[in-house]
Structure 1
Amino acid sequence: MAGQIPIIPFGPHATCTLELCPIEYSIFRYRPSLAANITFVVLNVIFALTHLVLGLRLKNWWFSGAMVAGCVSNIIGYAARVFLWQNPFSFIGFLLQIIFVGSAPVYYTAAIYVTMTRTVENLDVSLSRIKPKLYYVIFIVCDTGALVLQAIGGAVSTVSSGANAAGVNLALSGLIFQVATMLAFVGLLIDYLIRYFRDRPVASVATRLKLFLASLSLAILLILARCAYRVAELSEGYNGVLFHDELLFIGLEGVLIALAVVALGIGHPGLVFKDGQANLTKAYSPVSVPGGAESGVELVGK
């Protein structure tokens, strides 16, 4: 009919609304859960405030700053999904979710990489396969490159409503590169821990140090699992089954990252390393080393 507004389901010039189009016309083909996304917004506000307080009290600025930045990124991303509940056809809402939810884990891994440097410097540099500073130099650069690929690919594919295969493939390449980077880091982390505990009875290592190392390891594995899910999701494109399954997104994106943030709160380096520097104070825990000598790890607190 003359004068009738053409129906454009998705993109910068989308005209669809819930009144005009069925939900199946939207990019997700579902209406995002209001309860779940508000929950993630609230949780990330709590996480951000918690890490801000820890940063102020423990003066571990880099770690806490990265954690707060990741939480803020998630707050914006999940707030965009709340807006998508109101209007599932919103191009801006979808773009904000892709950018901010997608980039949040990079801040957390950056915090982990820098913490790994501090850990190696404090425990035993000789056990590391690479120089301590290379943990954050190499892996943060790689993660940043992976994020740039994802951002460019996401922008290209969303503008074309997912029709541009090049955009999807570029974003997928970024995710695969991110997973490969994390696998390399996990390999180095496992190797270091094996070498560290090989000549030290676990019982001789301070409980706080063991909790810290366990929390750090758990967090990186949770983030790796999340990234592996995103690779599987995007490998099918925007028309795949995984992309349209909100329960999987909630569980393997939202829940896994939330658990990783909790783990990094429990294993906050400021609770172990004084002022984030390469020295530890107070409670001394001796460990046996070859040759009958003793060395130890001094921990904050008792």
Structure 2
Amino acid sequence: MTSTTSSFHTRPSDVFGANSPCHLDNCPVEWSIFGYRPSLAANAVFLALFVVIGTVHAYSGLRWRSWGFMTGMLLGCLCEVLGYVGRLLMWNNPFSYNGFMIQIICLTIAPVFFTASIYVTLSKTITYFAPELSRFKPQLFYWIFIPADVVCLILQAAGGALSTVMHDGKRTGVNISMAGLILQVVVMVLFIAAFADYMARLLRSGRARDKLRGWRTAIFFAGLAAACVFVLTRCAYRVAELKDGYAGKLFREESLFIVLESVMVVLAGVALLFGSPGMVFDKPAVRNGTWLGKHSNMVSEEGGFQMGEHNGKRYTGRADHV
């Protein structure tokens, strides 16, 4: 066979890779790594949704000066957008090596940035709300969950990259990505357990219950909890999807990918709009990043966090660092 424009009667050995001779004109789509042509409509919709979600998070972060939370969410949304650009490249050519490399790396690591925002936010929330009710010092959420999140990010990014660099490294790359995903699931389960324990103790506290009556506070905690469930569901799916490698049945099912990857991450991004620090850390109550309320107890109009003094101790903190 002398021309890459002619049809192949047998599957080429280099059907996947940077030098693949295949495209839709000369190879059946079943030979592609997905075994299907990604949906143009679905991937365009999810790309647009993450642009919108990222834009709203940027507005919210700038408005409420939630720099850390905003940075994590924007990085996550950017990775999602790039990932769906990669899938659109694969709609144009299901054998696109660059498209696959972009989507496998970006879509795999994107939720790691979302979970980083969640960990930072809950740590700050415990500090400002009722640190005495937590079994662990709020700083431990930084020193345990954030480093674990970084390890997850490195493993997933390295695994995705290795699986696309060379054919011999494909299985190794998948295993490394799976290790990162499994670690992320374990870390999230531990985090959810700590989160649930704190919320249970908070709800049993008479003084804290008074603070939870506001609708903003309720929506805030509900948003964080929902986002955790959505991301955990997505990670569990990705572990099952990669269990049999790129040749596995789950990896070649686009409908499952759309429901358990795309929809779950979109829902997590939306839930975190309500789990944003701005929902409870009211800007009118913040001046130069420090809580006001000397010799008084201040409660936001919408029922946000109480601020001021308790047992002679003044509540202070930098809300603009959340």
Cα gap change, 1:286 to 1:242, in 2 (>3 Å): closer
Q: How many residues align?
A: 291
Could you tell me how far apart the structure 1 residues matched to 2:87 and 2:60 are?
A: 29
Could you tell me how far apart the structure 1 residues matched to 2:132 and 2:168 are?
A: 49
SS at match of 2:17: coil
Cα gap change, 1:166 to 1:196, in 2 (>3 Å): same
Amino acid in the other structure paired with 1:270: G
1:290 maps to what in 2?
none
* Identity within the alignment, %: 44
Cα gap change, 1:27 to 1:278, in 2 (>3 Å): farther
SS at match of 1:142: helix
Cα gap change, 1:163 to 1:26, in 2 (>3 Å): farther
Which structure 1 segments of 5+ residues have no match? 288-292
> Within the alignment, does 1:34 sit opposite 2:40 as a pair?
yes
Which structure 2 segments of 5+ residues have no match? 293-297, 306-310
2:102 maps to what in 1?
96
Cα gap change, 1:278 to 1:98, in 2 (>3 Å): farther
1:115 maps to what in 2?
121
The Cα shift of 1:271 comes to 2.2
CA deviation vs aligned residue, 1:224-251 (integer Å, no higher than 9, x gap):
1100000010112111110000011011
The Cα shift of 1:253 comes to 0.6
> Within the alignment, does 1:283 sit opposite 2:291 as a pair?
no
The Cα shift of 1:202 comes to 5.3
> Within the alignment, does 1:176 sit opposite 2:193 as a pair?
no
Amino acid in the other structure paired with 2:114: Y
- TM-score, reference length from structure 2: 0.83
Q: Do the aligned residues in 2 keep the contact of 1:273 with 1:279 (CA within 8 Å)?
A: no
Could you tell me how far apart the structure 2 residues matched to 1:20 and 1:190 are?
A: 55
The Cα shift of 1:163 comes to 6.8
Could you tell me how far apart the structure 1 residues matched to 2:56 and 2:63 are?
A: 11
- In the TM superposition, 1:177-256 aligns within 5 A as 177-200=183-206, 205-256=213-264
Could you tell me how far apart the structure 1 residues matched to 2:257 and 2:170 are?
A: 23
2:295 maps to what in 1?
none
Amino acid in the other structure paired with 2:139: K
The Cα shift of 1:156 comes to 2.2
Could you tell me how far apart the structure 2 residues matched to 1:264 and 1:95 are?
A: 28
SS at match of 2:247: coil
> Within the alignment, does 1:71 sit opposite 2:77 as a pair?
yes
- TM-score, reference length from structure 1: 0.88
The Cα shift of 1:147 comes to 1.8
